[in-house]
Amino acid sequence: MKKYLIYVLLITSFCNTVLGQRDKEVLPSIMVIPRANENEDIRTLVDNEPVIRVGIASIKDGFDQYGYDTKDFEALFKRIISDPKVQHLSKDKFRDLLIRNITTDVVVELDLMYVESNAGNLVRIILEANEVSSANSLGTKTCESNMFYTKDVGSLTMSAMNQDYGKDDSCFDSFMKEIITKWNKQYEDGKTAVIDFSFDKNSKLTMDSKIASKDNDRLKFIIEDWLTETAHEHYVKIDKVNEFNLYVGEYRYSYMHTTRNIERDIYRLFDKLEIEIKIKNNGESLYVKVL
């Protein structure tokens, strides 16, 4: 069995037609890129595994037919690889560089397995969609082709996507509807992030410290008020508060923003309080360290 992992990365665009509907829908635009396994390098896969390109093209074509604005992975890859400096990067650092050069809102991980047997060959694809900045799940689906005496991975991939999934939907139709439903629901509910406030070991402050610039209000109350005031629809879930930590398990924010916007606003809050902080942003969670 040969197994290939592919990332499908999506950024927001507007289209008028999706899944046969004429109403205006908000659709993600898409880029399909290969993902290397633990001991593999994306650069090597692109050069040595032509079946990867075939799989990318087949999935890209499927999204194209729904009206998505797809982006070309190879164009981006060639632009990055043309820089001599990247030749010396480790496989992990190169992958990080590649991801940073794609502006995305949603990531769909595609696990593509090509299976050969005496009874025929098949392709199995496992699709998992997640919103990038919050890691919220937007859908998951497993599709498997019929068995054919062919090594045409593109045709087998399309067969898997077109398998009947009930209610007159193909497997890929069902996956797209799930993504679109949850994607558009974000316009009402907003996206979510985790925010973890803590203190440097040398900090002289705690959550109970009184802040002179805010009429001696305690720091934890200032943070809690700010969270409630700025959250989308004022929805915030604080899971833990103690002397040295305030942990926000769910902070909702506008679908138009990313956690980078939240990071910027937190810096501005603490600047007004004249308190130095450092923030680590991993895309779905913010770690705020009070210095």
Closest CA to 120 of 145, 148, 159, 155: 148
Chain-centroid distance of CA 15 in Å reads: 21
Residue 18 has pLDDT above 80, yes or no: no
pLDDT score recorded for residue 211: 96
For 50-80, what is each residue's pLDDT tens digit? 777 787 788 788 878 888 777 888 888 999 9
Domain ranges of the chain: 2-188, 190-290
Supply the pTM of this predicted model: 0.69
The CATH class, in words, for 190-290 is alpha beta
- Report the percentage of the chain scoring pLDDT > 90: 41
pLDDT score recorded for residue 19: 43
In degrees, to the nearest 5, what angle opens at C-alpha 17 toward C-alphas 12 and 22? 130
- Please, which residues have CB within 8 angstroms of residue 27's CB and are 6 or more apart in sequence? 13, 14, 15, 18, 66, 67, 68, 69, 180, 183
For 140-174, what is each residue's pLDDT tens digit? 999 999 999 999 988 998 899 999 877 778 998 89
Distance CA 113, CA 3 (A): 4
Instruction: State the DSSP H helix or E strand holding residue 89, giving kind and residue range, or none if neither.
Output: none
Closest CA to 183 of 65, 6, 14: 14
**Lowest-pLDDT range of 92-96, 117-121, 262-266:** 92-96
| Residues 106 and 179: beta-carbon distance below 8 Å | yes
For 256-266, what is each residue's pLDDT tens digit? 888 899 999 99
Residue 37 banded pLDDT, cuts 50, 70, 90: confident
